[in-house]
Amino acid sequence: MQNRRATAIGSANIALIKYWGNRDPVLRLPSNSSLSMNLAALTTTTTVEFRADLAEDVVKIDDAEARGSAHDRVVAHLDRVRALSNINTKASVLSHNNFPAGTGLASSASAFAALTVAACVAAGLRLATDELSRLARHGSGSACRSVPGGFVLWDACDKDACSFGRTMAPADHWDLRDVVAIIESAHKATGSTEGHALADTSPFQATRVATTPARLERCKDALLSRDFPALADVIEKDALMMHAVMMTSTPSLLYWRPATLAMVQAVRAWRKDGLPVAFTIDAGPNVHCICPAGAAPEVESLIRSFPGVERVLTSGVGDPTTTLLDSPRI
């Protein structure tokens, strides 16, 4: 096989209805459906080149050679692409995040979305978006939501074939912003993969899973009708349900810092005063402040001067993962 090379750019996503826990951890079939918006400003750009001269896969992330589980996870994903395309050439993978990894900003979502698309194109596979999303899911669950664009629904289903992300509304449906308050940029102690495995140890997980469909419907309705108060109510509730499960798992996962709680309370006070803003929090201490674009400058300035905030990142709604340069658009 000749050397084959492709580059893809994928955006991170923020879940408005969270994925937490797997009914099948090997296939990454989630315990519940989830819904997210892609984040245009938070991207991973990945180049994959299958090279006949390589004896092993070489993986570089943000200019450093990946080792240990990060390396093994990428190799396992390349193996999935090799199995599909019937090739056994090793690959070089060069990946660059434009945002700090390990901050609860879901670098695995953009990373596995970009890796999936770049590796498939480099391997000569021409897969439809649903198939790419399904494949990305095997690398990281939330990555399946970063393959298609805009507001993306990942339907829980108990089979590999039907578990993938689908665009519910395109990026231009509603000009929302995610103003992220970075409270800590160090690597998190317990990653999502380990956390998912603990979800069922919480007595609250069964209730969270059973009540997710109702929240999902409310969230879909709020998004489709651009009803911000309804959206704010349901996304905050859903994030708190997930953190209640995390906190009550064995061992307990407590991602919050004092500044996290202070900001949660501040966001509610700002909203009460008429500013349309709502919080959501992933597996980390940072607070994602979701608001309509018009409110973003005020939200940013409030957060910038907030005690305990290291930095602020703002993103609009992102497009699908796409190939770059000479590669065809997916």
Alpha-carbon span 9 to 101, nearest angstrom: 16
Q: Which is nearer to ligand DP6, 50 or 112 (CB)?
A: 112
Q: Does 140 bind ligand DP6 (CB under 6 A)?
A: yes
Please enumerate in sequence order all residues whose Cβ is within 8 A of that of 163, keeping only pairs 6 or more positions apart, or say none.
27, 28, 29, 30, 134, 137, 144, 154, 155, 156, 157
Please enumerate in sequence order all residues whose Cβ is within 8 A of that of 308, keeping only pairs 6 or more positions apart, or say none.
183, 257, 258, 259, 262, 263
Closest to 313 measured CA to CA, from 11, 70, 32, 31 = 11
Amino acid code (one letter) for 43: T
CB of 56: closest distance to ligand DP6 in angstroms?
24
Specify whether the CB–CB gap between 287 and 281 falls below 8 A: yes
The DSSP call for residue 141 is G
Q: Which of residues 31-50 bind ligand DP6 (CB under 6 A)?
A: 34
Size of the site for ligand DP6 (CB under 6 A): 17
Position among 10, 19, 105, 219 found at the interface with ligand DP6 (CB under 6 A) = 19
CB of 136: closest distance to ligand DP6 in angstroms?
10
Query: Stretches 40-48, 55-63, 138-146, 224-232: which one binds ligand DP6 (CB under 6 A)?
Result: 138-146
Alpha-carbon span 162 to 15, nearest angstrom: 20
Q: Which of residues 237-296 bind ligand DP6 (CB under 6 A)?
A: 282-283
Q: Which is nearer to ligand DP6, 18 or 271 (CB)?
A: 18
CB of 126: closest distance to ligand DP6 in angstroms?
26
Q: What is the 3-state secondary structure (H, E, C) of 184-199?
A: CCCCCCCCHHHHHHHH
Alpha-carbon span 223 to 244, nearest angstrom: 25
Query: Stretches 14-22, 81-89, 267-275, 316-324: which one binds ligand DP6 (CB under 6 A)?
Result: 14-22
Position among 142, 167, 315, 323 found at the interface with ligand DP6 (CB under 6 A) = 142
Q: Give the three-class secondary structure for 3.
A: coil
Q: Which is nearer to ligand DP6, 45 or 193 (CB)?
A: 193
Specify whether the CB–CB gap between 199 and 180 falls below 8 A: no
Q: Which is nearer to ligand DP6, 27 or 324 (CB)?
A: 27
Query: Stretches 58-66, 105-113, 156-164, 229-237: which one binds ligand DP6 (CB under 6 A)?
Result: 105-113
Query: Stretches 180-188, 189-197, 222-230, 292-300: which one binds ligand DP6 (CB under 6 A)?
Result: 189-197
Q: Which residues bind ligand DP6 (CB under 6 A)?
A: 15, 18-20, 28, 34, 106, 108-109, 140-142, 192-193, 196, 282-283
